[in-house]
């Protein structure tokens, strides 16, 4: 519907006309909502009521002074030095001692693995190391209490996200509120999942004998968005052998000793084609496909669309990434070259055209860390192994109707079963 709108903007009414929603894919409208009139478009009561059990009063779920204070504190965690430390002390170590040996073992045994599940557990370990200074070792094959607890946490968090997502899309909010009051069905499951999450976080906090603030929330966000992005990336690469070869050639040329695909922070910055391929994957499959804001005062968008007080202003990074008027006639094709200049150097685009990491004051603080982590993982795996999707991967004809589950996070339906072939 958005693609056929002359203004890339439409108005829809909610169930029984109880709510009004303006959906836009126009970059100028996004600039207004997310930056120039930032204070008029807030997360609001819908996000806070739906996600309160899972995210509480954390940075992703609040507005105003509470948000500003947490944002200011969190910004100190994402400096260049912290990124270099993240690569050298956490990601490289975890790749060497855990992920690559795990994948190598499955390759030797000719096993089919769900790489979506493997990645979510590995990124969970990574972020826990940074946020809490602990290693959950959730990829370890040995059965022990630590592995069991971390696996339970990961599963509980995924369940909590799915149930919270169903709240957001429920046509009648009263239904889930009644279920919560009666403690039945999905709301009972959510309560149980949140208890597991909180118990796990408190166990870590007590073991460190210090308060970890809202780092647990940031860890949860990072785990899902990064692993989801990489899952779609490997699906697309498996269906585009030309791009796969170009990435491998770039890695081979950059590898310092030709024996490992584990790169330093500075070397990762030189991987332009890999950066472009990841960005192209994010364009087609943004981890957070839809976002919403509540309007505090009547307003008129740049394209002339009226937005009333109490209305929702929604935008979809997923829809915008597939708009011909924004990306050209080949918008549904996986073509990393669109991100490179004539010299093969990566060129970022207008963030309001590519709102994968949000825009304006709420721009994702972890953007660079996410790219560093994704490039590190993708490079280490692709340098040593060919990833072959059992379903054939993201062939061009499948990109238009991919196997996704629409939720707060755009996960792949049924996971991504793959075989690994050693190079």
What would the pLDDT profile of 283-328 be if each residue is shown by its tens digit? 999 999 999 999 999 999 999 999 999 999 999 999 999 999 999 9
Domain count, the chain: 1
For the record, the structure tokens of 344 come out as 């093969």
Task: Measure the CA–CA gap between 47 and 13, rounded to whole angstroms.
Answer: 18
Task: Measure the CA–CA gap between 154 and 163, rounded to whole angstroms.
Answer: 14
**Residues above pLDDT 70, as percent of the chain:** 93
For the record, the structure tokens of 133 come out as 């200074």
Q: Is residue 77 part of a domain?
A: no
Considering only residues 63 and 202, tell me which one the structure prediction assigns the higher pLDDT. Answer: 63
pTM of the model: 0.89
For the record, the structure tokens of 266 come out as 């500075």
User: What mean pLDDT is reported for the chain?
Assistant: 88
Question: b/e string for 71-90 if b means 16 or more Cβ within 10 A?
Answer: eeebeeebeeeebeebbeeb
* Range(s) of the domain holding residue 397: 83-288+330-416
Q: Is residue 21 part of a domain?
A: no
CATH of the domain at 95: 1.10.630.10
For the record, the structure tokens of 398 come out as 């499948």
For the record, the structure tokens of 332 come out as 């549904």
The helices-and-strands tally (H runs, E runs) of the chain is 17, 12
For the record, the structure tokens of 152 come out as 């339970």
Q: Is residue 299 part of a domain?
A: no
Q: Is residue 311 part of a domain?
A: no
Q: Is residue 99 part of a domain?
A: yes
Going by C-beta distance under 8 Å and a sequence separation of 6 or more, which residues neighbour residue 267? 254, 256
Q: Is residue 144 part of a domain?
A: yes
Task: Measure the CA–CA gap between 419 and 87, rounded to whole angstroms.
Answer: 27
Q: Is residue 243 part of a domain?
A: yes
Closest C-alpha to 418, from 119, 117, 112:
112
Q: Is residue 364 part of a domain?
A: yes
**Could you give the angle at which helices 100-108 and 367-384 cross, rounded to 10 degrees?**
30
Residue 67: phi and psi, rounded to 5, are: -65, -45
Render pLDDT for 21-55 as a digit per residue (tens, 0 to 9): 999 999 999 999 999 999 999 998 888 888 888 88
Task: Measure the CA–CA gap between 142 and 137, rounded to whole angstroms.
Answer: 10
Q: Has residue 386 got a pLDDT over 90?
A: yes
């Amino acid at each position: 519907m958005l693609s056929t709108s002359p203004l890339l903007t439409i108005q829809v009414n909610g169930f029984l006309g109880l709510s009004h929603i303006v959906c836009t894919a126009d970059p100028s409208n996004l600039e207004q909502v997310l930056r120039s009139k930032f204070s008029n478009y807030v997360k609001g009561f819908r996000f806070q009521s739906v996600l309160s059990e899972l995210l509480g009063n954390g940075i992703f779920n609040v507005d105003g002074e509470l948000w500003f204070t947490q944002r200011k504190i969190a910004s100190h965690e994402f400096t260049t030095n912290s990124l270099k430390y993240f690569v050298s002390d956490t990601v490289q170590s975890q790749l060497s001692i855990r992920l690559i040996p795990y994948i190598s073992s499955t390759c030797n045994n000719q096993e089919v693995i769900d790489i979506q599940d493997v990645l979510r557990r590995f990124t969970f370990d990574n972020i826990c190391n940074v946020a809490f200074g602990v290693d959950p070792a959730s990829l370890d094959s040995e059965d022990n209490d630590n592995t069991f607890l971390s696996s339970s946490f990961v599963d509980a968090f995924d369940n909590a996200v799915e149930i919270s997502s169903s709240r957001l899309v429920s046509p009648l909010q009263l239904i889930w509120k009644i279920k919560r009051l009666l403690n039945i069905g999905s709301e009972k499951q959510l309560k149980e999942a949140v208890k597991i999450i909180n118990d796990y976080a408190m166990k870590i906090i007590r073991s460190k004998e210090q308060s970890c603030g809202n780092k647990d929330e940031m860890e949860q966000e990072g785990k899902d968005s990064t692993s989801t992005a990489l899952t779609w990336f490997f699906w697309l690469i498996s269906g585009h052998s030309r791009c796969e070869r170009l990435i491998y050639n770039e890695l081979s040329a950059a590898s310092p000793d030709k024996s490992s695909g584990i790169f330093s922070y500075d070397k990762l910055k030189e991987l332009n084609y890999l950066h472009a391929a990841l960005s192209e994957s994010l364009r087609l499959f943004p981890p957070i496909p839809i976002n919403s804001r509540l309007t505090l005062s009547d307003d008129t968008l740049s394209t002339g669309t009226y937005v009333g007080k109490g209305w929702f202003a929604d935008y979809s990074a997923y829809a915008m990434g597939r708009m011909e008027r924004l990306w050209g006639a080949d918008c549904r094709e996986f073509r990393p070259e669109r991100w490179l200049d004539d010299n093969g150097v990566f060129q970022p685009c207008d963030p309001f055209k590519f709102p994968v990491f949000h825009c304006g004051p709420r721009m994702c603080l972890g953007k660079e860390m996410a790219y560093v982590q994704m490039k590190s993982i993708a490079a280490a795996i692709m340098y040593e192994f060919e990833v072959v999707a059992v379903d054939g991967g993201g062939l061009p004809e499948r990109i238009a109707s991919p196997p996704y589950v629409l939720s707060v996070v755009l996960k792949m339906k049924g996971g991504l079963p793959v075989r690994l072939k050693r190079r």
